[in-house]
Structure 1
Amino acid sequence: MKRVLLGILLAAGLAAPLTAGDLEPRQGWEVFPTEKSYADLVAAVKAAVKANGMGVVTEAGPTEAAAGRGITIPGNRVIGVFNNEFAVEILNLSTAAMIEAPIRIYVTENEDGTAMLSYKAPSFVFAPYVPEGGADLSGLAAELDVRFAAIAQDAIK
């Protein structure tokens, strides 16, 4: 009897939709809740990236692919952002640091239908490479912090 009950409970738990819930702030991250929809925020991020002299280098997300498989999940998009000027300067300071480029902006759909913008601060991302790249790398990361903050502010308004 206990095995049957355990089996039923496990099956019920596995049948329930899996969702991790809304994104929470964490160390090194900048997190911005918005009133925008997921689609509107994705479009706003792309426009803000361009307006702030950066480029969308990569884009990935499981939402559309999951829908193609008949699975509905909340909107989820990772947008890789960088530009060649920063890439060349950082590469001159630390070959290893370039593995962190592009810096990713994360757009997630909340349970209430609004969307959130988040990213790891560039100074946080590049911090492990400062012993190699020195003060110049710290300075570039600080410049990127300002640029990403401007992208975020433009996208969420």
Structure 2
Amino acid sequence: MKLLWTVFALLALPAWADEPLSGWAVYPTGKSYDELVSDTKSAVKANGLIVVTQAGPTKAAAARGITIPGNLVIGAFNNDYAVRVLETSVRAMIEAPIRFYVTENEDGTATLSYKTPSFVFAPYIYEGRDPLRDIAQELDDTFQIVAEAAVK
């Protein structure tokens, strides 16, 4: 019986792997990786945020002669949010900037995903209370607007 359950679990694994993780927003697109990276950066700027950081292994791997799918983390935030978050919880600022994640799929399309700001800041709500919860909700709305603009 144990072997049967193990086989069942292994067969079901690919279906589970396609499920988004808790607290994540995932936007598959028909866009290319380069197009989605550019559109995400533009949408960040157009919606009052700043691209604070960018990091990914793709270009560094290529410089070493290794080809991997496109993969870029784009950190977005602004000073207004930083000051407001700090007023509620100094510890919570370790989560800034909050990141968008652009990944290239096997078929040449790209996916935009991110952990929702309310999920990211959840561990600090005990300290920041309602003001931090309100900021996180504002950021949830802004990140959704950015994502929807980037993927359309």
Query: How does the TM-score come out when normalised to structure 2?
Result: 0.88
Match of 2:68? 73
Q: 1:148 aligns with which of 139, 143, 149?
A: 143
After TM superposition, give the deviation of residue 25 of structure 1 in Å. 1.2
Question: Any unmatched runs of 5+ in structure 1?
Answer: 1-21
After TM superposition, give the deviation of residue 111 of structure 1 in Å. 0.6
What percentage of residue pairs aligned between the two structures are identical? 65
After TM superposition, give the deviation of residue 47 of structure 1 in Å. 0.3
After TM superposition, give the deviation of residue 138 of structure 1 in Å. 0.2
Q: Per-residue CA shift, 1:31-67, capped at 9, x if unaligned?
A: 0000000000000000000000000000000000000
Question: Any unmatched runs of 5+ in structure 2?
Answer: 1-16
For the pair shown, the structure with the greater C-alpha radius of gyration is 1
Structural mapping, 1:36-55, within 5 Å: 36-55=31-50
Q: 2:99 aligns with which of 88, 101, 104?
A: 104
Query: How does the TM-score come out when normalised to structure 1?
Result: 0.85
After TM superposition, give the deviation of residue 23 of structure 1 in Å. 7.0
Counterpart code for 2:144: A
What do you get for the CA RMSD once the two structures are aligned? 1.1
Matches of 1:56 and 1:116, distance apart in 2 = 18
Assess, with a 3 A threshold, how the Cα gap between structure 1 residues 65 and 73 changes in structure 2: closer, same or farther: same
